[in-house]
A and B are shown apart, each in its own frame.
Chain A
Amino acid sequence: MRQITKFVPALYIVLLMMPIYWLINMSFKTTNEILGTFSLWPNEITFDNYIKIFTDPVWYTGYFNSLSYVTLNMVISVSVALPAAYAFSRYRFLGDKHLFFWLLTNRMAPPAVFALPFFQLYSAVSLFDTPIAVALAHCLFNIPLAVWILEGFMSGIPKELDETAYVDGYSFPRFFVRIFIPTIAAGIGVAMFFCFMFSWVELLLAKTLTSVAAKPIAATMTRTASSSGYELGLLAAAGTLTIIPGAFVIYFVRNYIAKGFALGRV
């Protein structure tokens, strides 16, 4: 029995890590080895794939572009969602519940629906092919999400905290920055994580709204064949590097993610 309780999770983890291992495995192989032989680990370890990514501007600017629009999007989404979520959590106003639900319905339309109008609109105001264009487009589904998550966290803070601060002499802005934001820091972290996650993996809008200057890494990566034929090792290396920021961010919010998936309501 003792053996099984160890064996089952071990098997689970092995199966779960298999594709990731295979990706990392491939990233250290040459394309010839990938296509020619079946090997559980690289026969001949090569770092050429990684060297190419870090030296070829086509590759590393992809990372830079992706990270810049994702960061921009996180900052915009959370700073816009904070006051909105505060209003939804603390005040009753005309149509508040409908508006709150309507926010979430924005997520129901597939991004493809918005690809054409965004493309046309951003071209018209010459935002096309800039990181800010993608960041703004991603706000469409990230702001509602951030509002929902933050509202949940804020509603978990009794409004007596606000009252206590006013009684202590805090003005509203001072209270909001000095007391309230630190109190829901975990919620802000979770909201930022979710914004990161959706913005980082979204491909359609990011691809449509950029061409060369702001091309995201995912777009570069999905270009499977190049002039020199299939470069599977290179793509695997790019894939490996793409996982890292996600893993890094998850590490910081690991204790709060479950609460975030429940939109702060636990």
Chain B
Amino acid sequence: MAITFKNVTKRVGAETHIHETSVAFVENEFNILLGTTLAGKTTFLQLMAGLEVPTTGEIWFGGKNVTGVATQKRNVSMVHQQFINYPHFSVFDNIASPLRVAGVGKADIERRVGRVAELLKLTPMLKRRPNELSGGQQQRTALARALVKDADLVLLDEPLANLDYKLREELRDELPKLLSDRKCTVVYATTEPTEALLLGGYTATIHAGRVTQYGKTPEVYRRPADLLTAQVFSDPPINTTKVTCQAGRMVLNDQVSWAADGPAADLPAGTYLMGVRPHFVTVQPTTPNPVAIRGRVIISELSGSESVIHFNLDGLSWVSQSHGIHGLEIGAEATFYLNTSHCIYFGENQQLMAA
């Protein structure tokens, strides 16, 4: 079911949690809400679930205005970041509870719970209580309860955030598979850009209670509508610097300039804000004609098989992310290679000009 926000705002007291928002989330797709903590993701989900009522505006499910409709009548399901289960129910009863409330027959309950438990590998734990399970199993139980009832709208509020990374990767792979064969709209809130890219579908970037952009995930990633969206959708943070376009060349400073081709080809002369994702600033060249820049290393850290190096160039702090282990000494001058074919250019008003 398509879910549409029409001029929705949400204020609590003097605080505005959601600024006026109009978005139509695509039906039967994975929709991702990407934003930092406190950006308003949970409020969006609560509005969709009917747990909160918008201060102004309307929320529509398909062709129906559901603004004042109670949660119980919306046929939604939801999984929270914390592992929420009914502690005095067994895992079976936990999963069965939405069906029992809906008055589904006993045999039908057994069959549906059995099938979902099988999918989520919970079959051996059905008789246990939630507090006898590991964190991953508890969250699987919560997921099973959300999946068992054939909801039109499945809301997932950072469901993997409290899991360790192995379990997170495992469940992240399984989730789209579990949801792919059913007709439901999924809204998945996350703080991690990587997660949004892995899950695909559509992404809405949220910043301080506003949806800055909504579109296909790769599209939002490659062509962010404005600087804010690019910042929300980048981890480590995107590098931004002023560049000037003159006489067919992009000029960074006195030493560094390059031919304005690729995304910059059609830019009129002028000054722009250029955004470069950290993995396009590398220790070793990754393209045949990279642009070399030199900077002073501030921090050098290794994360897995990648090196993240912060360096200073013309008073601006840059982040570079390269494959392999590159131990650079702090304070040393080093050369970094800029892949200019993936730079994003924003105008004076921070709106996208070229990417």
> Which residues of chain A in 161-178 are interfacial with respect to chain B, using CB atoms and an 8 Å cutoff?
161, 163-171, 174
In the complex, what distance in Å separates the CA atom of A165 from the CA atom of B80? 12
- Chain A residues near B101 (CB-CB < 8 A): 168-170, 174
Q: B74-101: contact bitstring with A at CB < 8 Å (1 yes, 0 no)? A: 0011101010101110000000011001
Given contacts A167-B78, A174-B101, contact A160 B72 (CB under 8 A): no
In the complex, what distance in Å separates the CA atom of A179 from the CA atom of B80? 17
- Chain B residues near A170 (CB-CB < 8 A): 72, 97, 101
Q: Cβ of A168 and Cβ of B97 under 8 Å apart? A: yes
Q: Cβ of B72 and Cβ of A163 under 8 Å apart? A: no
In the complex, what distance in Å separates the CA atom of A170 from the CA atom of B78? 14
CB of A185 within 8 Å of the partner chain: yes
CB of B316 within 8 Å of the partner chain: no
- Chain B residues near A174 (CB-CB < 8 A): 101
Q: A98-122: contact bitstring with B at CB < 8 Å (1 yes, 0 no)? A: 0000000000000000000000000
A91 CB to nearest chain B CB (Å): 13
Which of B49, B86, B87, B88 lies in contact with A167, CB distance below 8 A? B49
Given contacts A160-B80, A163-B78, contact A168 B145 (CB under 8 A): yes
Q: Cβ of B98 and Cβ of A158 under 8 Å apart? A: no
- Chain A residues near B86 (CB-CB < 8 A): 161, 165, 179, 183
In the complex, what distance in Å separates the CA atom of A166 from the CA atom of B71? 6
- Chain B residues near A163 (CB-CB < 8 A): 46, 49, 51, 71, 78, 80
Q: Cβ of B72 and Cβ of A171 under 8 Å apart? A: yes
Q: Cβ of B87 and Cβ of A183 under 8 Å apart? A: yes
Among B49, B71, B82, find the residue whose CB has the most chain A CB atoms closer than 10 A.
B71
CB of B102 within 8 Å of the partner chain: yes
A263 CB to nearest chain B CB (Å): 21
In the complex, what distance in Å separates the CA atom of A169 from the CA atom of B87? 18
Q: Cβ of B88 and Cβ of A166 under 8 Å apart? A: no
The range of chain A's interface size is 10 to 19
Q: Cβ of B82 and Cβ of A160 under 8 Å apart? A: yes
> Which residues of chain B in 244-272 are interfacial with respect to chain A, using CB atoms and an 8 Å cutoff?
none
B149 CB to nearest chain A CB (Å): 8
Specify the chain A residue showing the minimal Cβ separation from B98: A168
In the complex, what distance in Å separates the CA atom of A53 from the CA atom of B116? 63
Q: Cβ of B84 and Cβ of A160 under 8 Å apart? A: yes
Number of A-B residue pairs, CB cutoff 8 Å, is 53
In the complex, what distance in Å separates the CA atom of A166 from the CA atom of B155? 13
Q: Cβ of B88 and Cβ of A164 under 8 Å apart? A: no
B281 CB to nearest chain A CB (Å): 41
In the complex, what distance in Å separates the CA atom of A174 from the CA atom of B80? 21
> Which residues of chain A in 232-256 are interfacial with respect to chain B, using CB atoms and an 8 Å cutoff?
none
Which of A158, A165, A166, A185 lies in contact with B82, CB distance below 8 A? A158
CB of A182 within 8 Å of the partner chain: yes
Q: Cβ of B84 and Cβ of A167 under 8 Å apart? A: no
Specify the chain A residue showing the minimal Cβ separation from B72: A169
> Which residues of chain A in 78-92 are interfacial with respect to chain B, using CB atoms and an 8 Å cutoff?
none
A56 CB to nearest chain B CB (Å): 45
In the complex, what distance in Å separates the CA atom of A165 from the CA atom of B76? 11
In the complex, what distance in Å separates the CA atom of A170 from the CA atom of B102? 9
B83 CB to nearest chain A CB (Å): 10
A266 CB to nearest chain B CB (Å): 17
> Which residues of chain A in 149-165 are interfacial with respect to chain B, using CB atoms and an 8 Å cutoff?
158, 160-161, 163-165
Closest 3 CB pairs of A and B: A169-B101, A168-B98, A166-B71
Residues of B within 8 A of A (CB): 46, 49, 51, 70-72, 76-78, 80, 82, 84, 86-88, 97-98, 101-102, 142, 145, 149, 155
Extra 11 A-B pairs, beta carbons < 8 Å, given A163-B71, A168-B149, A169-B98: A161-B86, A163-B46, A166-B49, A166-B51, A167-B49, A167-B155, A168-B101, A170-B97, A174-B101, A183-B86, A185-B88
Residues of A within 8 A of B (CB): 158, 160-161, 163-171, 174, 179, 182-183, 185
